[in-house]
Amino acid sequence: MKTRNKRLAIAGGVVLVIAAAAALILNAFQSNLVFFFSPTQIESKEAPVNRTFRLGGLVVAGSVKRTGVAVDFMVTDTAKSVPVHFEGILPDLFKEGKGVVAQGKLQDGVFVAKEVLAKHDENYMPPEAAEALKNAAISNQKTAASVVTSK
Amino acid sequence: MIPEIGHFLLWLAMGVSLALGVVPMWGAARGRNDFMVLARPLSYGLFVLISLASVCLMFSFVTNDFSVLYVASNSNTHLPLLYQIAGFWGGHEGSLLLWVQMLVVWMIAVALFSRHLPIEVLSRILAVMGLVTVGFLLFMLLTSNPFDRLFPTPLDGRDLNPLLQDPGMAFHPPTLYMGYVGFCVAFSFAIAALIGGNLDATWARWTRPWTTVAWMFLTVGIAMGSWWAYYELGWGGWWFWDPVENASLMPWFLGTALIHSLAVTEKRGSFKNWTVLLAILAFSFSLLGTFLVRSGVLSSVHAFATDPRRGLFILAFLTIVIGASFTLFAWRAPKVGLGARFALFSKETALLSNNVLFMVATAVVLLGTLYPLLLDALGMGKISVGPPYFDAVFLPLMVPTIFLMGVGPLARWKETSVPDLASRLKWAAGVTVVCAVLTGWLAGSIKLLSTVGLLMAYWIFSAVATDLWERVRPDGKGFAEIRRKAGLMPRALVGMMVAHIGVAMFCLGVTMVNTYQMERDVKMNVGDNTTVNGYVFTFKGVQDAKGPNYDATVGGVDVTRNGKLVVELKPEKRVYRIQQNPMTEAAIAPGLTGDLYVSLGEEVEGGAWIIRVYVKPFIMWVWGGCLVMAFGGFLAVTDRRYRRKTGVAV
């Protein structure tokens, strides 16, 4: 083979590998990105049905009920709350009134979690949960303000 | 007093490293011998200063000096001594000091073992390392000084995070950092060669052992971290594609690519530009990893408290280092030349493909790690990229990589004939298919994905065996001939074979555990049992116990098989007294063909517990494989070629 053709073949091979990898990556990306939604967004039907997403907020005090391996609790962003169903062992730092992030799907108004995450520091708030609380606080203020102005 | 001395030593070290970064570099540029000879003494001085500063911090930990903010935040009078010592790197400030400590260890190693290098080269190398030290010392002194005082002095400290109170803490961070920072040596060699314009096969031979040693440490460090996560986090996984894990994986991929590319540069003089670029990239990714972990931009188990100034500083430092080295590369690289030519089918092409595949793997990890950050920064919503993405992309990438791993070592330099290769490897291919099917059949089920994994593992085993056989074939002269030929094989070659066997073991472990593991969460009353994969787990109830600084609930689980007791497992639930955090300690019975893994969930009504029971076949092979890879690296660096070079002037 001539040097020129050889070079071309090698360059072609490299391009092929990279193109294949890019196709794979984009495909995997499309189907595996996990978006985050707050209880308020779920309430207003912004969250997708039949697609995995993350939910964050605070575990409502007194809402945790265990039945065997299954556990049900409510997650709130202080404005709205969503019921969560989970089967399995909760992380060590899962506590009522503390921040939590759950990953799963919405089924008939109940968030069925595949995974529940709580971080290993008692004062640590998962950023997603913190964000949900902040947004809810802002919208609470706005509603309060609009109530005041409408009077 | 001691903390002030430590602080002062750091400033002193700052001055010395600045001198080291400037004076020998200037000397090398101007050909002034009196400046260049200063490089080694300055390195020794820097090593002594930093080591003494580390001793000061260690002293503050061991003597419970809670007037030091960092000690007060990461230690406690009730903390066992081992963890008081390991508390040194339990937080942000101390782990930075550990980073610099490791850097000066590498520096002094270069100064001691590279006497044979021409003085200009050695001066430049040490100067570059000195400049890197300047950056890190500045960062430490300006934003995160471990010796900051705390007034009023608290009576006791906040304690080390319970998650970190584990023997793994004593070994994982130092080993990992040793690897991370070790790429600084290859980087400095590359920069020095770019400045001096003397990139050649000799340069590659000097760089190779250093790169391999750093890679060894990184391999072992990552494996240790993975093993630690497996038994400490209590959910039995060994890799989570956590951003911080990714941060260590990217330099590992690049380091692996660099090792292979250096082989070509040394033997054939090809790929010089590419090798230099990889050396720069490997260290840049080590820095990027540090940025990702230390700046708090990522949420992960490893992330420390956030301070935007820190993130900004590292980002600026990163930009300067990467920007400067790439500029230098762009300016000097065209002079380096392309090296010897090679045919389309040759060992060079196989190794080039290895490099391309490892680069793509790095890019995949980088994208998955940074994309959520980018989207968040642009205000386009919060997302996370989880294991499914990485799994989906990695398997198709690894298949060609592993295939080439079998072919590459048997291919010839310059040009190789494909039919010849195919006929040499036909037995290996046959054995691979038979073994993969047989293993699947023995394990109980043959599945597509697991068969692919098993094919990859056996392909490497049998290709290495073929390679070995070709080299030691007795040609009818009997066993003595095998021994003679085996004795002639260079250590570096044996090291490569051993490292590749390690990869095969790793593949086997990953495939087996992913395909045939059994996981079950069950509610158990005292006396209940559950059967997983032929093992009967019987719950015997819980007892209270007291540790040095925690209270524990210890469960008892008897495991029997065919009526015979296999092992008694004692999983624990601990509450550490100071921070009041609960911690799950899994109980594991490790074994060559699989682990039995039990951890306590939570107590439910009437003394029953939720208990997690796992059977993890061949999971030890995952880490065992990594250790074997590292051992292969060890064999390679002890090759006679490198030993002869050290200590003898050239």
Nearest-CA distance from B610 to chain A in Å? Answer: 7
Q: How would you write chain A as a 3-class SS string?
A: CCHHHHHHHHHHHHHHHHHHHHHHHHHHHHHHEEEEECHHHHHCCCCCCCCCEEEEEEECCCCCEEECCEEEEEEECCCCEEEEEEECCCCCCCCCCCEEEEEEEEECCEEEEEEEECCCCCCCCCHHHHHHHHHHHHHHHHHHHHHHHHC
Are B97 and B57 in contact by the 8 Å Cβ rule? The answer is yes
- List, in sequence order, the alpha helices (H) in B386-490: 387-407, 418-443, 448-472, 479-488
- Return the structure tokens found at B188: 């400095």
Mean pLDDT of B211-236: 90
Residue with tokens 């996981």: B519
pLDDT confidence bin for B395, thresholds 50/70/90: confident
Give chain A's mean pLDDT. Answer: 78
- Each residue's pLDDT tens digit, B51-65: 999 999 999 999 999
* Three-class SS state of B638: coil
Domain edge (last residue) among B367, B396, B414 = B414
Cis amide leading into A91 (omega within 30): no
Position B540: which residue type? K
Which pLDDT does position A147 carry in this prediction?
44
Structure tokens at B19: 């001198």
Tokens matching residue B400: 């060609």
Query: Which two tokens mark A82?
Result: 């969503």
DSSP annotation of B412 reads P
Q: Does residue B119 sit in the same domain as residue B191?
A: no
SS3 B145: coil
The pLDDT assigned to A149 comes to: 41
Per-residue pLDDT at A95 exceeds 50? yes
Q: Is the pLDDT score of B172 beyond 70?
A: yes
Residue B444's pLDDT band (cuts 50, 70, 90): confident
- How confident is the model over B477-522, as pLDDT tens digits? 888 888 888 888 999 999 999 999 999 999 999 999 999 998 888 9
Distance separating alpha carbons of residues B399 and B142, to the nearest angstrom = 47
Pick B383's closest partner by Cβ from A14, A35, A66.
A35
> pLDDT tens-digit profile of B120-138?
999 999 999 999 999 999 9
Whether A21 shows a pLDDT value over 90: the answer reads: no
Token pair for residue B165? 């109170």
At residue B234, the pLDDT reads: 67
Contact B238, B227 (CB under 8 A): yes
Q: What pLDDT digit, counting tens, does each position of B569-628 carry?
A: 999 989 888 878 788 889 999 999 999 999 988 888 778 899 999 999 999 999 999 999
Angle at which helices B418-443 and B387-407 cross, to 10°: 130
Task: For the sheet with B609-616, list strands across it.
Answer: B518-524, B609-616, B595-603, B587-589
Percent of chain B with pLDDT over 70: 95
Task: Give domain status of residue B638, yes or no.
Answer: no
Buried b (16+ CB within 10 A) or exposed e, B89-120: bbbbbbbbbbbbbbbbbbbbbbbeebeebebb
Mean pLDDT of B77-86: 91
β-strand A110-117 against B383-385: which pairing, if any? unpaired
Weakest mean pLDDT among B155-164, B203-212, B244-253 = B155-164
Does residue B203 sit within a domain?
Answer: yes
Query: ∠ at Cα B315 (B314, B321), nearest 5°?
Result: 85
Residue B299 pLDDT class (50, 70, 90 cuts): low
Q: B385 and chain A: CB distance < 8 Å anywhere? A: yes
pTM of the model: 0.90
DSSP symbols for B336-377: T---S---SSSHHHHHHHHHHHHHHHHHHHHHHHHHHHHHHH
- Asked whether residue B151 falls in the same domain as residue B190, the answer is no
Residue A149 Cα, gap to closest chain B Cα (Å): 30
Q: Is the pLDDT of residue B321 over 70?
A: yes
Average pLDDT of the residues in A19-42 = 80
Question: Do B110 and B208 share a structural domain?
Answer: no
Number of structural domains in chain B: 3
Domain extent at residue B284: 180-414
**Do B273 and B338 belong to one domain?**
yes
Residues facing residue A58 across a β-bridge = A76, A99
DSSP sequence for B163-215: GG-SHHHHHHHHHHHHHHHHHHHHHHHHHHHHHHT--SHHHHHHHHHHHHHHH
- Average pLDDT over chain B, rounded to an integer: 89
List, as own/partner pairs, every contact residues A17-26 make where C-beta atoms lie below 8 angstroms and the sequence separation is at least 24, other chains included: A17/B353, A17/B356, A17/B357, A17/B360, A17/B400, A18/B356, A18/B360, A20/B396, A21/B360, A21/B363, A21/B364, A21/B393, A21/B397, A24/B392, A24/B393, A24/B396, A24/B397, A25/B364, A25/B367, A25/B393
pLDDT tens-digit series, residues B524-540: 999 999 999 889 999 99
Cα of A61 to nearest chain B Cα, Å: 18
A91 versus B287: the higher-pLDDT residue is B287
Q: What is the pLDDT of residues B93-114, one digit of tens each?
A: 898 999 999 999 999 999 999 8
Choose from B348, B384, B395 for mutation: most chain A CBs within 10 A: B384
Are B218 and B142 within one domain?
A: no
Question: Is the confidence at residue B650, as pLDDT, over 60?
Answer: no
Is there a domain that residue B237 lies in? yes
How far is residue B597's CA from residue B586's CA, in Å, rounded to a whole number? 7
Residue B248 contacts by C-beta under 8 Å, 6 or more apart in sequence?
Answer: B176, B180, B218, B221, B222, B225, B289
- Report the pLDDT value the prediction gives residue A122, as an integer from 0 to 100: 45
Which residues lie below 8 Å from residue A3, measured CB to CB, with a gap of 6+?
A: B341
Q: Does residue B346 fall inside a structural domain?
A: yes
**For the residues B191-196, what does the mean pLDDT come to?**
92
Q: How far is C-alpha B613 from the geometric centre of its chain's CA atoms?
A: 29
8 Å CB contact of A92 and B523: no
Taking every pair of Cα atoms in chain A, the longest distance, rounded to a whole number of angstroms, is 86
Q: What is the pLDDT of residue B12?
A: 97
Each residue's pLDDT tens digit, B363-389: 989 988 888 877 777 777 777 787 888
Residue B488 domain-assigned?
no
Contact A126 B299 (CB under 8 A): yes
Whether A89 and B521 have beta carbons less than 8 Å apart is answered as yes
Residue with tokens 């990869």: B503
pLDDT at residue number B337:
61
Both B410 and B289 in a single domain?
Answer: yes
Listed residues B165, B191, B218: the one ending a domain: B165
Residue of B nearest to A87 (CA): B521
- Pair (B16, B119) in one structural domain: yes
Distance CA B549, CA B348 (A): 58
* Contact criterion met (CB < 8 Å) for B356 and A27: no
B510-538 as b/e, with b when 16 or more CB fall inside 10 Å? Answer: bbbbebbbeebbbbbeeeeebebbebbbb
The 10s digit of each residue's pLDDT in A51-80 is: 888 888 888 988 998 888 889 999 988 888
Q: How would you classify the pairing of strands A70-76 and A81-87? A: antiparallel
Indicate the pLDDT class of residue B648, thresholds 50, 70 and 90: very low
Higher pLDDT, A56 or B5: B5
C-beta atoms of A24 and B397 within 8 A: yes
Check: CB of residue B582 under 8 Å from CB of residue A93.
yes
CA B598 to chain centre: 28
Query: Positive or negative CA dihedral for B516, B520, B525, B530?
Result: negative
* Among candidate residues B488, B453, B367, B461, the one with its CA nearest the CA of residue B406: B461
Residues of chain A with Cβ-Cβ distance to B580 below 8 Å are 122
Output the furthest CA–CA distance in chain B (Å, rounded). Answer: 83
Instruction: Select the residue from B346, B358, B383, B530 to test the A interface by mutation, using most A Cβ atoms within 10 A.
Output: B383
Say what the ipTM of the complex is.
0.74
Cβ-count burial B561-581 (b if 16+ within 10 Å, e if not): eeeeebbebbbbbbbbbbbeb
* Same domain for B133 and B96: yes
Residues B556, B585, single domain; the answer is yes
CA distance B492 to chain A (A): 28
pLDDT at site A130: 66
Are B85 and B140 within one domain? yes
B153 and B241 fall within a common domain:
no
Mean pLDDT throughout B284-292?
85
Assess if residue B643 is contained within a domain: no
Cβ proximity of B501 and B515 under 8 Å? no
- CB A87 to CB B357 under 8 A? no
Q: How far apart are the first and last CA of chain B?
A: 48
Measured distance CA(B127)–CA(B331) in Å, rounded: 20
Q: Select from B165, B192, B223 the last residue of a domain.
A: B165
* Min Cα–Cα distance to chain B from A116, Å: 12
Q: Which of B589, B538, B568, B550 is nearest to B80 (CA)?
A: B550
HSE (side-chain half, CA atoms, 13 Å) at B311: 12
> Bigger pLDDT: A9 or B637?
B637
Q: How far, in Å, CA of B549 to CA of B244, rounded?
A: 29
Give the count of Cβ contacts less than 8 A between chain A and B: 109
Strands A99-107, A53-59: pairing kind: antiparallel
| CB–CB contact B523 A68 (8 Å) | yes
> What whole-number percentage of chain A has pLDDT above 90?
10
- Considering only CB atoms, A6 lies closest to which of B343, B382, B521, namely B343
Count, residues in chain A: 151
Question: Which amino acid is present at B135?
Answer: G
**Residue position matching structure tokens 């529940």:** A116
Element (H, E) at B588: strand B587-589
For residue B90, what are its two tokens?
């339990």
Q: Clarify whether residues B321 and B204 are in a common domain.
A: yes
Residue B190 lies in a domain: yes
